[in-house]
Amino acid sequence: MKLWVAQHLNPRRYISTSFITPVGRHGGEICPFLTNQQGSARVPPNFAEGRSRPFQPMEDLFMSQGKFIVVSGGEGSGKTTLVHRLQTDFPGARYTREPGGTPYGEALRVPLLDRMYRPVPWAELFLFMSIRAQHVEEVIKPTLAAGRHVICDRYMQDTLAYQWYTRLGQRSPSQIMQLAEAAGFPQPDLWIYLDVDPEIGLRRRQQTGDMNRIDREKIEFHQHVREGFRDLFNYADYIHRGRLIDANQSPDDVYRAAHQVIDLLLT
Ligand SMILES: Nc1ncnc2c1ncn2[C@@H]1O[C@H](COP(=O)(O)OP(=O)(O)OP(=O)(O)O)[C@@H](O)[C@H]1O
Ligand SMILES: [Mg+2]
């Protein structure tokens, strides 16, 4: 409250500390802690009346939001291979990955996937969410607000399948989705799920010789993850924006199928 009063009395500081972010950098969104659980803005009265409105360049007012595309799937399903190929076709988009995508996230990715540690399921879940919170604020939201598309290698859907459904045995995504909404995580405009038989995916992964802590889980774990991904298609939020691509086929076929759905979204 004290903080709000100080900012309220001094609109210049209020804006410069970017509690309300200028349109040019973050799409003029009210920062998450100034929003209630439903995501509607708790805007201080003087701001709502426009008396301390920050400077908004005219061209920014007409800038449209970029599209957010997520590529998900089990181990060795070909996510990274696909995302690399798409970079050539959509050079204006920003490519990023999870866990990671920021200096904070990339640093935490190392212990998160290191075989030396055995985090309990809730610890693993919250570390993924922490890395995502940083990624969303630092990379995803500002990029979309600047009108650029974002193509992300793994995101919230992967946490749902791996940590929520498989590790924690939860059946309904609603609680974790409420948390994601409260944290201001945007929903993808398109969710591409690369569906692969885990035995095939793990064989591909083993051939690269690069197996992390989660790759090394038993085959039953990976089969459960696949069920989790497939279940997500029945969840209301994903029925229309999800596309399943058979990733047992050749990399060229996967690429063509993905390219087609992305083209439909972007053109
Ligand atoms: N459709 C495919 N058919 C055969 N091999 C493939 C296919 N897609 C990718 N590969 C190969 O499988 C290996 C794993 O691919 P990639 O790293 O793209 O998978 P990933 O889904 O990103 O895996 P991870 O979940 O471990 O990050 C690579 O050696 C890649 O060349
Ligand atoms: Mg990968």
- The pLDDT tens digits of the residues spanning 153-208 come to 999 999 999 999 999 999 999 999 999 999 999 999 999 999 999 999 999 999 99
251 touches ligand 1 (CB under 6 Å): yes
| pLDDT score of 236 more than 80 | no
| Closest ligand relative to 212 C-alpha | 1
70-79, 170-179, 237-246: segment of lowest average pLDDT: 237-246
| pLDDT score of 27 more than 50 | no
| pLDDT score of 59 more than 60 | no
Q: What is the pTM of this model?
A: 0.79
204 touches ligand 1 (CB under 6 Å): yes
Residues around the ion ligand 2 (C-beta < 5 A): 79-80
Kindly report the protein residue whose alpha carbon is nearest to atom 25 of ligand 1: 75
From the list 191, 192, 162, 201, the residue with the least C-alpha distance to 77 is 201
Q: How far apart are CA 28 and CA 24, in angstroms?
A: 7
**Greater model confidence, 210 or 66:** 66
67 touches ligand 1 (CB under 6 Å): no
- The pLDDT tens digits of the residues spanning 196-217 come to 999 999 999 999 988 999 999 9
Domains of the chain, start order: 2-61 (no CATH), 68-266 (3.40.50.300)
| The pLDDT value given to residue 173 | 92
Q: How confident is the model at residue 61 (pLDDT cuts 50, 70, 90)?
A: low
80 touches ligand 1 (CB under 6 Å): yes
| pLDDT score of 99 more than 50 | yes
| pLDDT score of 15 more than 70 | no
254 touches ligand 1 (CB under 6 Å): yes
| pLDDT score of 116 more than 60 | yes
| pLDDT score of 1 more than 90 | no
Q: How far apart are CA 196 and CA 57, in angstroms?
A: 47
- The radius of gyration of the chain from alpha carbons, rounded to an integer in Å, stands at 20
